[in-house]
Amino acid sequence: MASKQNTTPTIDPVWIAPIYTNKSGEDFLGLRAVQTRITGYLLPGIITTTLRARYYSFYCWLLVEYANKHPQGWSIGKFIHRREQIFALANLAYSSMIPEMPDTGGLTGKRKLSVHWNDHQKHVRVPLDVDNYIEAALGGYNVYVGVMQSLNLSRANDDNNIEVLPRGQKLAQAFTEGIKQTKYYKERTKYDTAKTIPRAVLEEYGKNCHLSYLSTSPDRTPTLESLFAFDAKHQLPPPNSDIPTRGNMRGTLGLILDMLDQTTDDFYGFEFRRAITYGLCLDYTPYQPAQSLRPILAHWQMFQLREYYVYALYNLWCHFLNWLKYEGRQTLRTFCTHLNETVEMAGIGDHLNLNFPTNSFANWSLNDWFNTLLDQQGIPPGNFQNRCEGFARQSQAPLNEDDLFWQFDEIELNDTCRYVGTTWLLLSSLYLRLRGLQAITIDGSDAWYWARNGGTRRRSLSRFVTDMTEHIEAGDKLLETLHWLFRDYIIAQHTITSLEKWRQRNANTFHFNYEDGFLEWVEDGQSGLSASRFEQAYRMLFDLGLFETDKNRIPHLTTLGQQTLHRVVTYG
């Protein structure tokens, strides 16, 4: 956008000709990095793209095999692509043989190799020519490099070659034990350079190497020991220390087993999110953690509270962009006037069984607002800080972050009253809970570190609590508070983040133009939750045979699952 002549000096950014055209990135408010740091701290050996537990032993085996012998002139990448292609085809071949069809979900290269298998499954020999089943230079190992280093399975040595460490050597040997009687294993070096492979060889190999058969294979025990890290010297070292966090895998995986052991219903990602949010509350009956798991749960609670916080800010951002889109070039002041005229909290309360007096944002003080909320939750009158601590210890109340989150399934983005009103309730609930949690200590945990993480520029939870408290003490009204939120936490935050991406990657991610105090819509926004890595951990626990599900999909720990949970909660 060309700038107008203006003799008044300004430090506001001015958009000119679209020199930068590359659109990239999803975190348009720059707030989600903290959640990634938390999950990396608590689950260092699992990321969102590591989907099946047996790949840990398989890749250790591949690395050892390459070091021992490989075709002359072959790179490690070429070697992995050949053997991984055969591994995937063997999984597909065996699954297609039997009626119960063992699950091949998470199989690397499945999309392209399934087509290839379907084209050739009736042939006596299957071509080995789908080298482009995945673009990554090291095949599927590319996504496992970091997590295998975190688990002390492999590392890059001083010569920049991949070294398999003793724990990885055990995994490789265990995988060998599981497949050494197969014809493929005995003739594997021949198939490294062969153009085809007999279907019968794939079927036999698949029976022994299948992703879904880890629980009956020799590599189960060393995989379990690696993931749970029972030999790790540390669990929950300070988040800002250089101490390896491998032992945190044990705590988180044990926490999930503890949840599965107590559930009476099916248990998936959103049930996990609810349990980590309220599991430390005195009145949360679906899950009460073992004492030794409370510090781990405190860190996961901070992850989910920040998830709701970021989600709420993105909701405000999305609604603001949507309003600009239909209203045209406007000021923030005009938008806030629109909110004051449109949002009626008494009506929002009716939807949620909350009894709010009829009052406008402009006339309702922030102090009265929060005390009204605490009254609605049945928190006894008294010192405000003590009331917040009481709120933080309860889950069964009308003002519940998880319930508020699900309200948005029924609310249209352009419904200013309900959308902004419910988002404001979510932020208000988070403020009360966080202010209470700030004073509540969980022994062995510095979970509040994650509230401080992000600082001012990234709008940390701690900064949010401090800012909100200052507005209460200043006697501000709700309208003044919302103006501040949109100005500092939405508009300024998006501008800071977009300028960083502009300078660092030539990426134009601006969703509005800003000039001379006026804002103009450029692109819609999007809200949502980031990944918790629960689904990946849950799947790996299932692969290890630590729990089973009945016909109603309710999980039950196996004998090994019970034994493993006992080892976790009594460790040390």
Does the pLDDT value for residue 8 go beyond 50? Answer: no
Domain 231-294+532-569 top-level CATH class: mainly alpha
Whether residue 465 contacts residue 388, with contact meaning beta carbons closer than 8 Å, is answered with: no
**Residue 456: band (very low, low, confident or very high) from pLDDT cuts 50, 70, 90:** low
Residue 337: per-residue pLDDT: 96
pLDDT at residue 353 in the model:
86
pLDDT for the residue numbered 214: 98
Range in 2-16, 45-59, 252-266, 365-379 the model is least confident about: 2-16
Distance CA 204, CA 161 (A): 33
Crossing angle for the helix pair 384-392 and 416-437, to the nearest 10 degrees: 100
- Whether 172 and 164 have beta carbons less than 8 Å apart is answered as yes
pLDDT band at 274 (very low <50, low <70, confident <90, very high): very high
Q: What do you get for the CA distance between the two ends of the chain, in Å? A: 63
As a whole number, the mean pLDDT across the chain is 92
Between 170 and 505, the higher pLDDT residue: 170
Task: Grade residue 516 by pLDDT with cuts at 50, 70 and 90.
Answer: confident
Tokens 């979900």 correspond to 105
Residues of the chain with CATH 1.10.10.10: 231-294+532-569
pTM of the predicted protein model: 0.93
Q: What is the pLDDT of residue 441?
A: 79
Give tens-digit pLDDT for 74-89.
999 999 999 999 999 9
pLDDT tens-place string over residues 17-49 = 344 344 455 789 989 999 999 999 999 999 999
The answer on pLDDT for 11 being more than 60 is no
pLDDT at position 137: 93
Q: Do strands 512-515 and 518-521 pair parallel, antiparallel, or not at all (unpaired)? A: antiparallel
Question: Which tokens go with 220?
Answer: 């189960």
Please report the pLDDT score of residue 21 as a whole number.
Answer: 43
Residues 6+ apart with CB under 8 A from 350: none
Q: Which residue has the higher pLDDT, 506 or 424?
A: 424
Cβ(197)–Cβ(86) below 8 Å: yes
What are residue 518's phi and psi, to 5 degrees? -105, 145
pLDDT confidence of 572, banded at 50, 70, 90? Answer: low
| Arithmetic mean of pLDDT, 174-202 | 98
